[in-house]
Structure 1
């Protein structure tokens, strides 16, 4: 441990020696008043004030000091400054360190602060030398704004208020209808007798009239009812899948989402930073148990595989019908996906871009605001689902974690061609899947070898150009989606069920499933032993890991479709997963906003340790799913209901229900 920190501090000191000459040569740019005030601070000329300046300043990299205490001093005594610079952590990794300083207000430029740090380092009072590409920002008051209100911010706020009004209106209408329904049912026996007398003992005709009246609800009212919290809440907790053999997918989706949260809880915290960053990079990540965290990248591959399977399974069931020959069928195929994904996605893009930077506080919140600058130029690429292709790399993207949605949409548009080939001749379908897998394998391996690209779990920065970006480009991520399509093909064969009914085959499949997924999750441990992995090792891992992990999962997943899988299958079918799986899309979209809001609002850096990270992870799960629940009921679900108004499902029975007439809202929902 001490050796690690010694190397870390020594590297800072060497940087300081190299840069001090540059700072001295540019000393003419340093404020004379700042130099005078720093010297006064060093000599404790004003004892009480200077003691507090030292007390509220950070002492080492990633030490933010005390912003509240510093800004509580008189404005002519101090202001609080954040200084950041890039330094090497190891020969292959650069990182940015940040320090918070409580210094005289005359030191208000980056050059001033760099000079002050050099002075502090000479006496070892603060061990944080200047590095490359230094930046600074200073605050003179607590809660100082980082961004002004713009026209875009007012528009987005107006949209939020508009949705709030729709929710209140829809909920109010349904509440009123339910009250009317309750009055009608107050004395059901007397009501039935009265109706029978009026209609010559034929109550059904009146019920039909009531049903028709409800069915003729104006479209505007139906649209408002789509936003009703009552019906959306009841739908969330009341409905369940009619395809019981696919219920295990609910558990797989939920666990995969939680796994994504696990990985991002660690990774996103690195944007502001850890106070023991050297330990995390040089020690903790080499532990065997730690590998489950960076391996969370496989959770996204699981979603690709599930998406490929469900899209293929659904389309295969329609391709033999007459409607699939109509251009309108394929129009609906595309529009359905756009309506399903876009409303919540677009809403959160603009909320994150325009509103969120306005509401945070803390010494590091300016970084959150700066992070959104990419949206000024590239927001439109998200709307077109091409943000994984333009801009060239993820660090320049708006709403960068939405690279997954861009890939998924592109794969969704490709899938029909594969399925039409399969319908024409099954061999053609399998051949195209094989070609897609070959493209995925070869491009990953070739690019890794040519550009010496490290693996993701090494925490390096592997993507600096469009060509070397192998993490989010469709040709390097289509493998798991192709696996999902292949699983849907196999599911159409009776032979698949027959072989899974054989005990020996199931045991073999379970063993392979566990072995493959465990292998790719924990094999990165070996890269931290001895001399590490070679370029060939990296290429093989980058080439096969993402796809083969989903192959292992699919071996077990298919068994559950036929009622096998034992305790694990029963676990994945738990009712709680049926509920939580409905929140996975909203959770994926909103969880980075939740994480970044917390990380950038902190007044101290996170400290990595297993127990502290576990508590952090648990809190992230709770808050992410809670907020996802709110936006699911108010944004996501209403637009699902609206789509049903635009493209109503086929009526199973045109006759009105005989026993449901009492519940106005249930009839409306059935018709919607």
Structure 2
């Protein structure tokens, strides 16, 4: 998905050697069926199948100047055409004319394969009388009148999942079936207990581990995976193994049951039993909505907008569209990195305190393993679900992002499994939006080192932390200057190097996470407030809001790809993410120390609690809905503010409902298995 149109054309190549290297042989069956179709549409009263096939050809529409160059035609109408000897087959011919790249949907007999269709198009076979059914764009709109063909692709009207697709679908079904089976088990146990039909000894054993609702007893405390925005009810299993020889299996089934996982899902608490950090849920959800809004706007723009140039003129020049322009929107990712660093430091320091103030190798391994288990089950589910979905859905003309993504997953799935996908070339990332999980885990793994240095020697810690911040800023600036990168990934996707060498790499994105670690260490270990006077808070808020406004404004001022190494672009690229993180850290600090005012009231609304509990699932699943909507379209999407608003709101509603299901069925069961009786619930 990340490369869209550009990946498709680069894959096809920028050469016309196809004209000389492609076989010019067309089978007898294809030739006969094509001639039959062409003869039929030139009759005074053609047969219905021929009319349907002709009508399914892509026709030139208005507003080519505004970006409406594609001619998708009608895929379903083509597939519905059936003659006595053949059926309609929908194919896309990818062309270049001058500087304009576009595709034309054509309907041909299904007896022709892709190579034969290319040959027929090259020789302008498809004509109705003297009029070509694949005409070039008029010279009045394009300086170049000659068409150049890149490739042809035909879409089948059947689906044929291979072994890997079936395996992915099986994994998804199994991950959903286990919690449902565990739920049925718990319900059965509860029913037997209520009916008093169980033996006395067995009932006594059940009563030691079950409460009156048939679920595991809890110790009354709530843990929270706030870094993934999931509040869990940690359960103290007290059932004895003397009553249940397989007590481990029994306890696992209880942890997977909906009676357990659904508890607390709609809780409005902050997620911290001991209080504090009331602003984090609000910051998290507003940042998530900002990202979802950006994706809802960016994905259609990349693939199938019929007035892209109009969108570009409207959106990229006005700060009023800060919720849909890719630069400002994806600074919300840096907010998530900041929160991740803050909570990782807080979690590790809490674990050390519970372990009698000892930072051992075993504690670090448990700390990292918990994180791995925290994110991977739902990550793997979404990856398998996406691959399986791509293989069984009848996609529309805008199929190419899905095919690219499918091929990436079949080859580079191990990058997601090992959480190193962001280290692969960007066009090889399976489920591209999950690059963040790999980056987050890599940053997360550095927290024990920094916490160890903090406890060992404060001076060494300060030097190392300062050096790392400086190094990540220098790396960003140098890469930007040498490769002449824009300050954010443009919608034209003309700068593949931006993602390949900058956007997803840990050495350029570590700054906000490190600032989060520093913030978390400070908030956890501080003895007194840093803000002692109101004037300090006023000055801090003025600087914070000024920095946020300046960073968003400069993204508009510096947009575009510099023609030569640019100092302003390099400086902005090196500084804007750490500066953004510092400003958000100030908001958290001010809210914690009682100087948040109405902003703290907004960020601390109880509304954010339930949304925060499902936000990890929201992040992973919302792009799937956007891609499915785009991929099923047979016609391009027309940009208007109202259309995009409805697209965003519809995506939000579908995402929230699905995320509740995924959270209780896939995410929380594995989190609940992290219970440690001695240390108690661990915050991640």
Per the TM superposition, whether the score is higher than 0.5 is yes
1:577-608 Cα shifts (integer Å, max 9, x gaps): 11111112112122222221221112222111
**Residues 390-409 of structure 1: pairs in structure 2 closer than 5 A:** 390=424, 393-409=425-441
1:380 corresponds to 2:414: yes
1:49-93 Cα shifts (integer Å, max 9, x gaps): 565444332223333222233332224576242325365897xxx
Contact 1:418 1:429 in 2 (8 A): yes
Contact 1:306 1:481 in 2 (8 A): yes
Aligned residues: 596
- After superposition, the Cα gap between the structure-2 partners of 1:19 and 1:368, relative to the gap in structure 1 and judged at 3 Å, is closer
- After superposition, the Cα gap between the structure-2 partners of 1:510 and 1:131, relative to the gap in structure 1 and judged at 3 Å, is farther
Residues of 2 paired with 1:318 and 1:394: CA distance? 36
Q: What's the offset of the Cα at 1:472?
A: 0.5
Q: 1:610 is matched with which residue: 635, 641, 665?
A: 641
Which range moved further: 71-80 or 632-641?
71-80
Structure 1 match to 2:320 = 289
Q: 1:154 is matched with which residue: 140, 145, 166?
A: 166
Q: 2:362 is matched with which residue: 318, 328, 337?
A: 328
Residues of 2 paired with 1:319 and 1:339: CA distance? 20
Residues of 1 paired with 2:680 and 2:408: CA distance? 47
1:487-543 Cα shifts (integer Å, max 9, x gaps): 2243356587242x4221212222222222222223333346999997333222322
1:341 corresponds to 2:375: yes
The structure richer in helix per residue is 1
Contact 1:440 1:476 in 2 (8 A): yes
Structure 2 match to 1:63 = 71
1:135 corresponds to 2:151: yes
1:85 corresponds to 2:94: yes
1:352 corresponds to 2:364: no
1:441 corresponds to 2:438: no
Q: What's the offset of the Cα at 1:305?
A: 0.5
Q: 1:101 is matched with which residue: 95, 102, 106?
A: 106
1:301 corresponds to 2:334: yes
Residues of 2 paired with 1:591 and 1:135: CA distance? 32
Structure 1 match to 2:212 = none
Structure 2 match to 1:480 = 512
- After superposition, the Cα gap between the structure-2 partners of 1:234 and 1:23, relative to the gap in structure 1 and judged at 3 Å, is same
Which range moved further: 211-220 or 117-126?
117-126
Q: 2:278 is matched with which residue: 232, 238, 247?
A: 247
Which range moved further: 466-475 or 80-89?
80-89
Q: What's the offset of the Cα at 1:301?
A: 0.8
TM-score (norm 2): 0.78
1:167 corresponds to 2:167: no
SS of residue in 1 equivalent to 2:265: helix
Q: What's the offset of the Cα at 1:633?
A: 0.5
Residues of 2 paired with 1:122 and 1:443: CA distance? 60
Structure 2 match to 1:208 = none
Contact 1:82 1:98 in 2 (8 A): no
Structure 1 match to 2:668 = 637
Residues of 1 paired with 2:381 and 2:95: CA distance? 35
Contact 2:421 2:438 in 1 (8 A): yes
SS of residue in 2 equivalent to 1:314: helix
Segments of 5+ residues of structure 2 without an aligned counterpart are 1-13, 61-68, 138-145, 197-236
- After superposition, the Cα gap between the structure-2 partners of 1:651 and 1:183, relative to the gap in structure 1 and judged at 3 Å, is farther
1:258 corresponds to 2:289: yes
Contact 2:90 2:108 in 1 (8 A): yes
1:225 corresponds to 2:257: no
Q: What's the offset of the Cα at 1:223?
A: 0.8
- After superposition, the Cα gap between the structure-2 partners of 1:27 and 1:162, relative to the gap in structure 1 and judged at 3 Å, is closer
Residues of 2 paired with 1:536 and 1:554: CA distance? 27
SS of residue in 2 equivalent to 1:101: strand
Residues of 1 paired with 2:18 and 2:162: CA distance? 40
Contact 1:223 1:642 in 2 (8 A): yes
Residues of 2 paired with 1:319 and 1:534: CA distance? 47
**Residues 185-224 of structure 1: pairs in structure 2 closer than 5 A:** 218-224=247-253
Q: What's the offset of the Cα at 1:229?
A: 1.4
Residues of 2 paired with 1:330 and 1:382: CA distance? 22
- Superposed CA RMSD in Å reads 3.7
Q: 1:620 is matched with which residue: 651, 654, 672?
A: 651
1:144 corresponds to 2:153: no
Which range moved further: 501-510 or 485-494?
485-494
Structure 1 match to 2:223 = none
Structure 1 match to 2:348 = 315
Q: What's the offset of the Cα at 1:33?
A: 5.6
- After superposition, the Cα gap between the structure-2 partners of 1:41 and 1:58, relative to the gap in structure 1 and judged at 3 Å, is farther
Segments of 5+ residues of structure 1 without an aligned counterpart are 1-17, 185-210, 653-672
Structure 2 match to 1:573 = 604
Contact 1:343 1:639 in 2 (8 A): yes
Residues of 1 paired with 2:165 and 2:172: CA distance? 11
- After superposition, the Cα gap between the structure-2 partners of 1:415 and 1:136, relative to the gap in structure 1 and judged at 3 Å, is same
Q: 1:389 is matched with which residue: 403, 415, 423?
A: 423
Q: What's the offset of the Cα at 1:325?
A: 3.7
- After superposition, the Cα gap between the structure-2 partners of 1:152 and 1:124, relative to the gap in structure 1 and judged at 3 Å, is closer
SS of residue in 1 equivalent to 2:287: helix
